[in-house]
Chain A
């Protein structure tokens, strides 16, 4: 047994104080290993977004410990967590979140800018990432010139370009129609299978969650179920 890549130890997240106190997460234990493909599910307000924010080192737990590859993230400063994200984490968002007036290539290369990668190498690696998501021929299109599915593929290329240990995808298909959604999910599945990238996916759609090897369901700030359903939905 290898030690988990991501580990929650009795993590609670509490917003507000006293009467107005809201427990978004309540004593959650969770382990995610290198190479897993996990879908985090649950109705809104169940704590799945809070879980993703903490897993993605964007937020810290109020109580308990979050270990990233054995490192306690709870104690890190804002900037230290930013460095952790810079080097080990990729994000894919529901709203794509590409920069406006910026080409697909530049959007893809953005994480490398903050890593201080030289510009020639940035272009080369961004081009490789775009090739991986099948958009090499659109490298000089700006975000507004790309369709929703293409934008999300650029966002995936951006998440991959820095060779992260884990990619967090927050409702990546939320703004896409069914066939585009399946394209994106097929791509993520392939990346997980071929390159061994750990993927954490947040969704409320069963069909999308079915692409993952493991489904973690949240309800009222606790894990309601954790199944290793390898059943593949869709194609």
Chain B
């Protein structure tokens, strides 16, 4: 019975091919738009989260300052090497603690010159940042404690200063001293926000502090926690430890900030999710319009086929039978639109991911939901015309010219 009805509906739609196509167009456009927006949104979200994850997993950033509502962060009291040692010793569940101090500076080699970021760090930098050395070696203990003039180059200064020349062992000039290249970092690429992460020169922390910045403050501590589950506890313990060390009384606000990458990632992800939802909401309005188109055409169809309905009712069709016939026709129409729209949306977003440089995320969820949504539209907007058909008086309907 269902198969017969489906077959009948298909024939009816084919008989009015042009009309069917135009009617479905509304649904096709709506579903395609929703699928495209959601697919691209998911691609962007995935790219951002993977970029943020590339900063390192389960990372906490600690700054000795508090972001004010407006204006620059206020720094009350800097971190010192003792704070780093205290965190290393007293907080459990950490992979490593990397104190860092950076300053913009110019590096010179031969007649080449490159403005870059000079960062002071310890060997904890490499595991904490998950950023291995590609050539050469790490700092030695002596180089770190002695604040020696050695450096490890990021990919960008390496390319700009040395080109294809060998860099290891060469002397470059930074600030007012010359410095031996002992290693090269692996490439990290651009960050989500378009920043070239490879544009840096790494030196022992003390070298940067004494020779470039001129104090022993540590403006930035990066901490890697062993597992994601341990992050909240580590954050709490570090807060408690730093409050003690900085003599903050009960009830007073922190004068330092701890930020974890996961929360930044989830913030960004939720922002794109809201954006995606908003845009697909706009796209869904065209689905609504498409639904109204289907209702319109079904009403026309019911009027045109009044006699047919009369015949069916006269020879023993129940109201239910006629209702189903028209409902199935409407649902078939909208589902066909849904399938075509989903395919077009997926192809369209796949084509768009290439120039946008966003990964193509095929989520079956989107396809299933948009298909279900178009079927629902068919049911909702097909119901009224179908009920109208089912309630026709067979005597009147048979007399209809």
- Taking CB atoms and an 8 Å cut-off, the chain B residues in 384-401 that contact chain A are 394-395, 398
The minimal Cβ–Cβ distance linking B147 to chain A, given in whole angstroms, is: 92
Please name all residues of chain B whose beta carbon is closer than 8 Å to the beta carbon of A138 when the two chains form the complex: none
Known contacts A59-B395, A110-B312, A116 near B1 by CB under 8 Å: yes
Determine whether A86 belongs to the interface, using a CB cutoff of 8 Å to chain B.
Answer: yes
**B residues in contact with A100, CB < 8 Å:** 308
Interface string of B301-317 (1 = CB under 8 A from A): 00000011011111111
A 21-49 contacts with B by CB, 8 A: none
Q: Which of B1, B316, B320 contacts A86 (CB 8 A)?
A: B316
Docked CA distance A85–B321 (Å): 14
The interface on chain A, measured as residues whose beta carbon lies within 8 A of the other chain's beta carbons, has a size of 28
Give A92 Cβ to nearest chain B Cβ, in Å.
11
Q: State whether B316 touches A93 (Cβ < 8 A).
A: no
Separation of A115 and B317 alpha carbons in the complex (Å): 9
Q: Is A62 close to B, CB under 8 A?
A: no
Interface assignment of A119: CB less than 8 Å from any CB of chain B: yes
CB < 8 Å neighbour of A58 from B312, B319, B320, B395: B395
Do B11 and A101 have beta carbons less than 8 Å apart? Answer: yes
Q: Which residues of B contact A193 (CB under 8 A)?
A: none
CA distance A165 to B1 in the complex (A): 25
Contact (Cβ within 8 A) B316 A83:
yes
- State whether the Cβ of A69 lies closer than 8 Å to any Cβ in chain B: no
A14 at the binding interface (Cβ < 8 Å): no
A53-B395, A116-B1 known; A111 vs B318 contact (CB < 8 Å): no
Interface residue tally of chain B, by bracket?
A: 20 to 34
Please state if A85 and B398 are interface contacts (CB–CB under 8 Å): no
Query: Which of A90, A113, A158 is B4 in contact with, Cβ under 8 Å?
Result: A113
Query: Are B311 and A99 neighbours in the complex by a CB distance under 8 Å?
Result: yes
Name the B residues within 8 Å of A93 (CB-CB): 398
Nearest A residue to B394 by beta-carbon distance? A58
A interface footprint on B11-37 (CB within 8 Å = 1, 0 otherwise): 100010000000000000000000000
A87 at the interface (CB under 8 A from B): yes
Q: Is the CB of A87 within 8 A of B398?
A: no
- Is A68 positioned at the interface, with any CB of B under 8 Å from its CB? no
Cβ of A97 and Cβ of B316 under 8 Å apart?
no
Interface string of A137-159 (1 = CB under 8 A from B): 00000000000000000000010
Tell me whether A85 and B308 are in contact (CB under 8 A).
no
Closest to B314 in A: A91
Q: Is the CB of B318 within 8 A of A85?
A: no
- What A residues does B317 contact at CB under 8 A? 82, 86, 114
Query: Does A85 contact B316, Cβ atoms closer than 8 Å?
Result: yes
Q: Is A179 among interface residues, defined by CB-CB distance under 8 A?
A: no
Q: Are A114 and B15 in contact (CB under 8 A)?
A: no
Chain B residues closer than 8 Å to A114, beta-carbon distance: 312, 315-318, 321
A79 within 8 A of B: yes
Complex Cα spacing A90 to B311, Å: 11
Determine whether the beta carbon of A115 is less than 8 Å from that of B308: no
A78 contacts chain B at the CB level, 8 A cutoff: yes
Interchain CA distance A65-B313 in the complex, whole Å: 23
Alpha-carbon gap, A96 to B11, bound state (A): 22
Q: Which residues of A contact B311 (CB under 8 A)?
A: 97-99, 110
**B314-A119 in contact (CB<8A):** no
Tell me whether A58 and B316 are in contact in the complex, defined as CB-CB below 8 angstroms, given that A93-B398, A101-B11 are known contacts: no
A100 to B15, CA, bound (A): 10
Q: In whole angstroms, how far apart are the Cα atoms of A180 and B394 in the complex?
A: 28
Which of chain B's residues have a CB closer than 8 A to the CB of A85?
A: 314-316
Q: Kindly state the separation between the CA atoms of A58 and B314 in the bound complex, as whole angstroms.
A: 7
0 or 1 for each of B64-88: is its CB under 8 Å from A? (1 = yes): 0000000000000000000000000
| Chain A residues whose C-beta falls within 8 Å of the C-beta of B320 in the assembled complex | 79
- CB pair B307–A97 under 8 Å, yes or no, is yes
User: Which of A58, A83, A89, A113 meets B318, CB within 8 Å?
Assistant: A83
In the assembled complex, the CB of B308 is this many whole angstroms from the nearest CB of chain A, namely 6
B171 to chain A, nearest CB (A): 90
Give min CB distance, B208 to chain A, whole Å: 85
Contacting A at CB under 8 A, from B33-62, are: none
Interfacial residues of chain B within 287-332, with CB under 8 A of chain A in the complex: 307-308, 310-321
In the assembly, what is the distance between CA of A118 and CA of B398, in Å? 28
With beta carbons under 8 angstroms apart, the residue of B1, B321, B398 that contacts A97 is B398
Q: Which residues of A contact B4 (CB under 8 A)?
A: 113, 119
Shortest C-beta distance, B306 to chain A (Å), equals 11
Say how far B314's CB is from chain A's closest CB, in angstroms. Answer: 5
Do the beta carbons of A115 and B316 come within 8 Å of each other? yes
- A89 contacts across to B, CB distance below 8 A: 316
Among A59, A99, A116, the most chain B Cβ lie within 10 Å of the Cβ of A99
A101 near B315: Cβ-Cβ < 8 Å: no
User: Per-position contact with A for B105-119: 1 when CB-CB < 8 Å, else 0?
Assistant: 000000000000000
Nearest-Cβ distance from residue A49 to partner chain B, whole angstroms: 9
Given contacts A59-B395, A99-B308, A113-B4, contact A79 B318 (CB under 8 A): yes
14 CB contacts below 8 A, A to B, read A56-B314, A79-B318, A79-B319, A82-B316, A86-B316, A87-B316, A98-B311, A101-B11, A110-B311, A111-B316, A114-B316, A114-B321, A115-B316, A119-B4
> Which 9 A-B pairs rank lowest in CB-CB distance, beginning with the nearest?
A86-B316, A85-B316, A111-B315, A97-B311, A114-B316, A79-B318, A82-B318, A114-B317, A58-B395
**Which A positions have Cβ atoms within 8 angstroms of B?**
53, 56, 58-59, 78-79, 82-83, 85-87, 89-91, 93, 97-101, 110-111, 113-116, 119, 158
Given contacts A82-B319, A97-B398, 4 further A-B pairs with CB under 8 A are: A56-B314, A91-B314, A110-B312, A116-B1
